[in-house]
Structure 1
Amino acid sequence: MTHLLAEAFRKAQDLPDYLQNELAEQLIEDIENEIQWQQTLSYPQGSKLEELASQALQNSEAGKTRAMGFDEL
């Protein structure tokens, strides 16, 4: 445990129980979200993007695309 986290826990000990529980719930949620985010980032995402890019190039080379602005449909 880092010194900063240990200090945060020491300070939290002086708070009323209901505030300690609120902090604990927030911290647990943040930790779970961080773990999920790290897992998401660890999965290779390139294959789908490569597939879409390849398809876009093929469509362009076949003349199935046209230049347009972001606000055009």
Structure 2
Amino acid sequence: MSTVAEIEKAISLLPSEDFLMLGRWFDEQRNLRWDGQMDRDAEFGALDFLADELDGHLSNGEVRPLNEILRHS
């Protein structure tokens, strides 16, 4: 397996088109990992505080549900 330094050097030598393709691939991989982390956090209740906070804002009339806003536009 290549070291990070070797990978960085190889990337720096890529033609522009390949560099852009690699960038898109890398962004896709980063997003997949982020989505996976969010799914795991949600599954274990780590994000429940956000739903509770939103419920409080809804109850206080500080925000409206999105479907209500879209219905009136």
Task: Name the TM-score, length of structure 1 as normaliser.
Answer: 0.50
Structure number, greater radius of gyration: 1
If each structure's helix is expressed as a fraction of its own residues, which one has the higher value? 2
